[in-house]
Structure 1
Amino acid sequence: MKELTNFPYHHVLVLGLAKSGTAAARLLLNSGRSVRVNDKNTSDTDPVAEELNALGAEVVTGSHPLSVLDDIDIIVKNPGIPYETPLLEEAFKRGIPIITEIELAGNLSETEIIGITGSNGKTTTTTLTAELLNESQKPAKIAGNIGFAATEVGQSLEQHEKMVLELSSFQLLGVKTFKPRIAALLNIFQAHLDYHKTFENYRNAKCNIFMNQTEEDFLIYNADNPTVAEAVKEAKSTKIPFSLNKQVENGAWADDTGIYFKNEKLIEKHDIVLDGDHNLENILAAICAAKLSGASNQAIYNVLTTFKGVRHRLQFVSNVNGRLFYNDSKATNILATQKALTSFKQPVVLIAGGLDRGNEFDDLIPYMENLKAAILIGETKEKLALVAHKAGVPVIETAESMSDAVEAAYNLSDRDDVVLLSPACASWDQYKTFEQRGDMFIQAVHTLL
């Protein structure tokens, strides 16, 4: 197992025992560091807490006492814990550095990292990049904000294997020296302002993905997104653009017929299985990353003619008496739901709603023309009902549970209609994760069969 090679801190507080915190604590202990773990939502009898205690960590559970900061050199923070937490505010006062677990992953020697971030499309692009590399016999594993923690995967990688990381703004906010050899910035739109407070803070967190890159590293970026195109001017990296709207000299692009890398046509558009212009952007970004890592044209063709997408991202679930059910539970913001709605030409019954982060939803109105009904759930159901009314959606209902929403959507739909779960909101008001929400949708659909 690999150890940390360039990490000058000896007394470390790991804050939060989710999967990234647990993996970080294990790596730090394996690397000979003194580790204190603190989680207010865990008890001393939790199996993970007991394991880390047996490995030599000091485990403090049930609250965040300020005493856990005593004699600490650095904090490895769970990405979801707000910086306004009193414990972290005290850490700032004491001058204790605060990082996230991906900073540790960047300190694992001989690990080639491809880092992918953006407001939308991260999961599809990350998964697709790994698929293209593996099909090219260039072994790659995915980690980060998808699947397993970066430090867990990074420790076990063989020298010839690459790590493809999906990176959230929460993770990137806590990096100091982290530097992927290949970075991809897919898009930047307004999101997560409840956490970052301002759009500028959010943008700056995303830009941390290239903050430490040099001209020997590569930065793949969306030349069609004005915020991204402006932001990457700050980068020292070798820039690799992608575009759906124009030919680019040193990157990937598309025209009406095909997909290209530089001046070479890789595939006809009609041969690509994955639908939607937003997925074409993801495909272009993945092609850039894979080509820079040695992927073959044949492998790219093989994958793009078979790859149908990832679970919870416009995932086709079932055809129930002619109704087509799609699970887009990963649509946790307005932009993602906008893109989902543009993917269908036939009438749609939309299931939406979730955690209320203070957003208004008027930006959805232009995309609701094709809705024959909206079934609304969660904390935002009343807000979304007002927006659906403004948009002229013929039928608007609310539901208390996913099973009730699916049943109502089925009853309001006809043959050849789409029933789409695309919440435009995070899941935490009713579900632990968007995956759990999507699984409940799938389960409810299967009860209709």
Structure 2
Amino acid sequence: MDYKNKKVLVIGMAKSGVSSAALLCRLGADVTIYDVKKREDLPKDLLHELDGFSYRDMLGQDPMDKIPEMDILVLSPGVPLGLPFIRRAYELGKQVIAEIELGFAVSKADFIAITGTNGKTTTTALTGEIFKNAGISTHVLGNIGVPITQEAMQTAPGDVVVAETAALQLDTIESYRPRESAILNITEDHLDRYGTMENYIAAKAKIFKNQTPKDYCVLNFDNDIVRELEPQIKAKVVWFSVSTVPPNGAYVKDGVICFSLDGKELDIMPAEELRIPGRHNLENALAATALACLYGISAEVIANTLRTFPGVEHRIEFVRTVNGVTFINDSKGTNPDATLNAIRAMVRPTVLILGGYDKKSDFVPLYQAFTPMIKAVIVLGDTAGKLIEAAENCGYQNYIRANGFEDAVLKAYSIADEGDNVLLSPACASWDMFRNFEERGRIFKEIVNGL
């Protein structure tokens, strides 16, 4: 699409919105930026990327009256579709697209798109590392922290974009079509936005909406919800599984990670040599293996990367051992299922820090699935009361309520014995106390490093 002289309203001035506005300015569009916050209320230097460009500023204003003159609305992830001026845009037949849609339209690269409730960032980073190690010009973008629009114009034919793609980014796609897609898992999350699991699943399923039989879709055979999506998919379905050997896909057989396609089986490496710990990370590695094999990357490159990839910050990240107590940062544990993955990776007695912003999750299954390794729980944040109620409903009494984040870390340290872990894996979003889970994880590490 030619964006020159098109009147575009970019909604939401976080990283992806600013990058979208900058890209559109470079493409010659007539750009207006909007955020509910006024300019002085936005983080300092956030709009620095727009310096030198000509654009209209509607920060902190109501854009309703400007909607009739707009050609396109570009939405940042998480912008509610029910806002009155967005509903008006739909009524007037305006084009309403996601930031990833804009980036995809401008990019010249092949797209490898990865979604799922948990494991997206680790799998995206790992897949990107495999592709880079294969000598492919690779851009690791999307929900992982670098907007697709930020590098879209820098891509060339033959490049690959490995894109972490969240449900919130898929809501308003139109032609977004990855050459390969993957759905890692779907469990309860974001019900504060979607209301029902059916709506959340439908949002995730949009990742394969525009794929054709020439494309591939990699699915988790072990996740019931994901497996049941197969009949909707036009792309060729390839599976990954830690529990069985699917007809096409990545799996573990006799302790070896393997990949098969159309009857041809390829051994990759012994599963025990995978560097990142936990069953969930074995799943992530199998998904990455399938995506890489489908692109023609050699078993040797894949194996070398799986043996050396150290993991991603804020995902079961070792921080420090103090007086025999090991601190682990899993701030990315923003829902109960993610926290369960972290719990299952613990092999020593563990004090668990839980709590944060309420995404309407049910915490009872979390307590019911505790392993004997969880010796105590520290609760805090908006969900503290809800976490205590769930604990008592499950007969779990070994909890302590903290007065703030630092107090939670100090309380956890005070009751941990030599040889124990203190695990930050809150099972909640961070927005009640922090800008994002990254800030929460960094502050956790600052507190621990100050002990």
The question of a shared fold, defined as TM-score above 0.5 by the shorter chain, is answered with: yes
Q: Which residue of 1 aligns with 2:391?
A: 388
1:48–1:355: structure 2 CA closer, same or farther, 3 Å change rule? closer
1:53–1:135: structure 2 CA closer, same or farther, 3 Å change rule? closer
Alignment of 1:7-406 (within 5 A): 10-43=6-39, 47=45, 49=47, 52=50, 54-262=52-260, 263-370=265-372, 371-393=374-396, 395-406=398-409
Residue 184 (structure 1) shift = 0.6
Q: State the AA in 2 paired with 1:231.
A: L
1:259–1:316: structure 2 CA closer, same or farther, 3 Å change rule? same
- Higher mean alpha-carbon deviation, 395-404 vs 146-155, is at 395-404
**Of residues 419, 422, 427 in structure 1, which corresponds to 2:422?**
419
Residue 62 (structure 1) shift = 1.4
- Higher mean alpha-carbon deviation, 298-307 vs 111-120, is at 298-307
Q: Which residue of 2 aligns with 1:409?
A: 412
**Do the aligned partners of 2:109 and 2:155 also contact (CA within 8 Å) in 1?**
yes
Residue 14 (structure 1) shift = 0.5
Residue 156 (structure 1) shift = 1.5
Q: Deviations over 1:115-137 (max 9, x none)?
A: 00001110010000011111121
Measured on the aligned residues, the alpha-carbon RMSD in Å equals: 1.9
Q: State the AA in 1 paired with 2:28.
A: G
Q: Deviations over 1:220-261 (max 9, x none)?
A: 111121211111211111111111121123211113512101
1:343–1:49: structure 2 CA closer, same or farther, 3 Å change rule? closer
**Do the aligned partners of 2:242 and 2:252 also contact (CA within 8 Å) in 1?**
yes
- Higher mean alpha-carbon deviation, 289-298 vs 393-402, is at 393-402
Q: State the AA in 2 paired with 1:141.
A: H
Residue 107 (structure 1) shift = 0.7
Q: Deviations over 1:11-58 (max 9, x none)?
A: 211011111111111111111222111112131797555764741211
- Higher mean alpha-carbon deviation, 167-176 vs 237-246, is at 237-246
Q: State the AA in 2 paired with 1:436.
A: E
Q: State the AA in 2 paired with 1:399.
A: A
Taking the aligned partners of 1:153 and 1:99, their CA distance within structure 2 comes to: 18
**Do the aligned partners of 1:52 and 1:59 also contact (CA within 8 Å) in 2?**
no
SS at structure 2 position matched to 1:22:
helix
Unaligned runs of 5+ in 2: none
**Do the aligned partners of 1:272 and 1:304 also contact (CA within 8 Å) in 2?**
yes
- Higher mean alpha-carbon deviation, 100-109 vs 175-184, is at 100-109
- Higher mean alpha-carbon deviation, 418-427 vs 266-275, is at 266-275
Sequence identity (%): 39
Taking the aligned partners of 2:300 and 2:367, their CA distance within structure 1 comes to: 42
Residue 9 (structure 1) shift = 8.7
> Given the two structures, how large is their TM-score scaled by the length of structure 2?
0.94
1:429–1:256: structure 2 CA closer, same or farther, 3 Å change rule? farther
- Higher mean alpha-carbon deviation, 382-391 vs 223-232, is at 382-391
SS at structure 2 position matched to 1:425:
coil
**2:433 aligned with 1:430, yes or no?**
yes
**Do the aligned partners of 1:365 and 1:390 also contact (CA within 8 Å) in 2?**
no
SS at structure 1 position matched to 2:208:
coil
- Higher mean alpha-carbon deviation, 221-230 vs 37-46, is at 37-46
How many corresponding residue pairs? 444
1:280–1:47: structure 2 CA closer, same or farther, 3 Å change rule? closer
**Do the aligned partners of 1:138 and 1:295 also contact (CA within 8 Å) in 2?**
no
Q: State the AA in 2 paired with 1:339.
A: N
Q: Deviations over 1:190-230 (max 9, x none)?
A: 21111112211111111111100111111111112121111
Residue 7 (structure 1) shift = 6.0
**Do the aligned partners of 2:108 and 2:155 also contact (CA within 8 Å) in 1?**
no
Taking the aligned partners of 1:357 and 1:323, their CA distance within structure 2 comes to: 31
- Higher mean alpha-carbon deviation, 410-419 vs 154-163, is at 154-163
Taking the aligned partners of 2:328 and 2:273, their CA distance within structure 1 comes to: 22
**Do the aligned partners of 2:222 and 2:241 also contact (CA within 8 Å) in 1?**
yes
Taking the aligned partners of 1:213 and 1:159, their CA distance within structure 2 comes to: 19
SS at structure 1 position matched to 2:106:
coil
Taking the aligned partners of 2:288 and 2:327, their CA distance within structure 1 comes to: 27
- Higher mean alpha-carbon deviation, 335-344 vs 6-15, is at 6-15
- Higher mean alpha-carbon deviation, 339-348 vs 393-402, is at 393-402
Q: Deviations over 1:338-366 (max 9, x none)?
A: 11111113211000100023333101122
**Do the aligned partners of 2:429 and 2:437 also contact (CA within 8 Å) in 1?**
yes
> Given the two structures, how large is their TM-score scaled by the length of structure 1?
0.94
